[in-house]
Amino acid sequence: MNGEESTGLDFIRARIVRDGKTGKYDGRVHTRFPPEPNGYLHIGHAKSICLNFGIADEYNGLCNLRMDDTDPSKESMEYVEAIKRDVRWLGFDWGDRMYYASDYFDQLYEWAVKLIKKGKAYVDQLSEEEIREYRGTVTEPGRPSPYRDRSIEENLDLFERMKNGEFADGELVLRAKADLASPNMKMRDPLMYRIRHMSHYRTGDKWCIYPMYDFTHGQSDSIEKITHSICTLEFENNRELYDWFLDEIEIYHPQQIEFARLNLSHTVMSKRRLLELVEEGCVDGWDDPRMPTISGLRRRGYSPEAIRAFCDRIGVAKRESMVDIALLEHCLREDLNRRAMRVMAVLRPLKVVIENYPEDEVEMLDAVNNPESESAGSRKLPFSRVIYIEQEDFREYPPKKFFRLAPGREVRLKHGYFIKCEKAIRDEKSGEIIELRCTYDPKTKSGEAPAGRKVKGTLHWVSADHAVSAEVRLYDHLFTTPDPMSESGEEDHKKYLNPRSLEVLEGCMVEPSLSDARPGEYFQFLRQGYFCVDSRDSKPGALVFNRTVGLRDTWAKIEKAQQSKKG
RNA sequence: UGGCGUGUCGUCCAGUGGCAGGACAGCUGACUCUGGAUCAGCCGACGGGGGUUCGAAUCCUCCCACGCCAACCA
């Protein structure tokens, strides 16, 4: 903006700064985010949204939201609404600039007529297969269709009759008369219009011919006076055509710039693949918390701030890349660590009786809500003779470096006392350990003078009488392999679906303060991870929590290393 | 194969003729009433060959690899 050097900027921003200096668009910056409403937005779209809206913000420009809705067979209002909701949720505002390519159909039709009159477009009646054949290959030039040289009058007449519905689907198409010998396949007389007797979710039955992407996108940008039309790499070949249409129609000409789309490890990122997972029931829907969709991430417990921070950190460039999902998770933890209230929840309860604690006494202990944020305050936590701890926090035969509870060992209960394990009680039939007998040391109460000795471990716990039961859903990566698409054939990626991407735990015990947690509210379950109240299935009295992401787990690493050492 | 595009630590991104840097991941250690967080440190890369230059990731050249394009999808 203010003439600073362009180093450190990504290549798109560098170019915008340059265009600003040369006055290419009178210093204007106007971008747009142009999804097709044929599916839900995913984290890859978030990258594009952050880029387009972000640039508009940074350079004092504007960013439009536009539905690229030229294919009536796939698009719907449901998707439009979902897209608007997701963009807004991410924190961006298109003001009064919500546009639809379908609003430009009349104008587009006129421009098509103009091209016909210029001798730059013709009505072809070759079949789909024939057109493919005539187009040639990457090494051989295309051949002209026998209909390529119809008279302008005949083209005009035929095109109008196409519009009027006098022909069946596929019978005729309108093609640009460009360059059949072009080494760029996109220039070999691309289709401009096809016949589809199908009603459109917005224009209804007004049209039975619909413009193709290439004959729509650039002109839509032009109508909206977009300066920089930012799109993904696969449209690089289309740029020549983008320019050609604008020049032939002789209208305002934005600059198309392409960048590499986001690929994220351990998931898939094409709308087609995601649709497939939804339709085949591999997941619960577009907003299944395992999906990389914006709605899935939202339901999983991701914050818009975390997603935006991620989009900033991955940068923008032209090389195809695969971002490690660990970076997304890092951005999430970084955000939630600052803001999430710490609470205690026991996922797999193990009963502990503190034998020397009075039968009916209940103490209300002070518990800090968030050590990262003093203003979060504190709450009271009930403590009593019978509590639950995590099953995995006890080992009868503790391995090396296991700092938790074991026979004869002492640990601290977070916000409470030291307890020492005196005895483990087994179920006679199963042999399973079902209860621990412990003693506590009254001199070790949290916040009071230290008893002069230390313990290595601190456990989370809940008071049995006061705990609230809840369902907890543990989510993990959707795919077991970083790049399911490349490590498999066309349809084989599904064999890498993670069978453990969802584990449902019932009968979890959470502290009483959680009983009135609201849908979407997020917490850190101490020592375990970040969790949010499921916005679809959780009800008062029947709480459901989703694990958004686990905490860094050093012990798990140590244990894994120990096990692999043993072979 | 024709065209377009891209090659820098394991991963992502900087560096645009002058000591190759950051982030994530990994590994050490310090600290800790979360094995969290935080802090300190370590590991680690210019696709290859030739050339220009005092000096090349950067310029030239050849090669190699990868991606995209032969949809009436976008």
pLDDT in tens, A376-420: 999 999 999 999 999 999 999 999 999 999 999 999 999 999 999
Establish whether the CB of A7 is closer than 7 Å to any nucleic acid atom in strand B.
yes
pLDDT computed for residue A451 by the predictor = 60
Report CA torsion sign: A115, A116, A120, A126: positive
- Mean pLDDT, residues A118-138: 97
Alpha helix (H) residue ranges in A317-371: 325-339
Residue A241: pLDDT over 50: yes
Establish whether the CB of A324 is closer than 7 Å to any nucleic acid atom in strand B.
yes
Establish whether the CB of A210 is closer than 7 Å to any nucleic acid atom in strand B.
yes
- Mean pLDDT, residues A551-555: 97
Q: Which residue is nearest to nucleotide B2 (CA to C1')?
A: A139
* Closest nucleotide over all strands to A403 (CA to C1'): B35
Mean pLDDT of chain A: 95
Say how far apart CA A336 and CA A523 lie, in whole Å: 8
- Model confidence over A8-24: pLDDT tens digits? 899 999 999 999 999 99
- Mean pLDDT, residues A475-504: 90
pLDDT band of residue A2 (cuts 50, 70, 90) is very low
Distance A162 CA to B66 C1' (A): 43
- Model confidence over A56-109: pLDDT tens digits? 999 999 999 999 999 999 999 999 999 999 999 999 999 999 999 999 999 999
- Model confidence over A305-357: pLDDT tens digits? 999 999 999 999 999 999 999 999 999 999 999 999 999 999 999 999 999 99
Share of chain A above pLDDT 70, in %: 97
Distance A43 CA to B69 C1' (A): 25
Establish whether the CB of A561 is closer than 7 Å to any nucleic acid atom in strand B.
yes
User: Residue A564 corresponds to which amino acid?
Assistant: S
- Mean pLDDT, residues A460-470: 98
pLDDT computed for residue A291 by the predictor = 98
Contact yes or no for A91/A302 (Cβ under 8 A): no
Contact yes or no for A262/A47 (Cβ under 8 A): yes
pLDDT computed for residue A447 by the predictor = 80
Residue A554: pLDDT over 70: yes
Say how far apart CA A135 and CA A180 lie, in whole Å: 7
Catalytic residues of A: 36, 261, 271
Exposure letters A258-277 (e unless 16+ CB within 10 A, then b): bbbbbbbbbbbbebeebeeb
pLDDT band of residue A27 (cuts 50, 70, 90) is very high
Residue A211: pLDDT over 70: yes
Q: Which residue is nearest to nucleotide B27 (CA to C1')?
A: A557
- Model confidence over A439-454: pLDDT tens digits? 999 999 988 766 678 8
Say how far apart CA A503 and CA A14 lie, in whole Å: 46
- Grouping H, G, I as helix, E, B as strand and the rest as coil, residue A380 is strand
The widest CA-to-CA distance across chain A, in whole angstroms, is 102
Check residues 331 to 360 of chain A and report those whose beta carbon is under 7 Å from nucleic acid strand B.
333-334, 337, 342
Distance A151 CA to B31 C1' (A): 84
Distance A7 CA to B53 C1' (A): 25
Residue A41: pLDDT over 60: yes
Start-to-end CA span in chain A (Å): 59
Establish whether the CB of A414 is closer than 7 Å to any nucleic acid atom in strand B.
yes
Q: Which nucleotides of B are covered by protein (CB under 7 A)?
A: 1-8, 10-16, 23-28, 33-38, 66-74
Check residues 297 to 316 of chain A and report those whose beta carbon is under 7 Å from nucleic acid strand B.
313-316
* Closest nucleotide over all strands to A317 (CA to C1'): B13
pLDDT computed for residue A564 by the predictor = 82
pLDDT computed for residue A485 by the predictor = 87
pLDDT computed for residue A567 by the predictor = 59
Backbone angles phi and psi of A85, in degrees to 5 = -60, -45
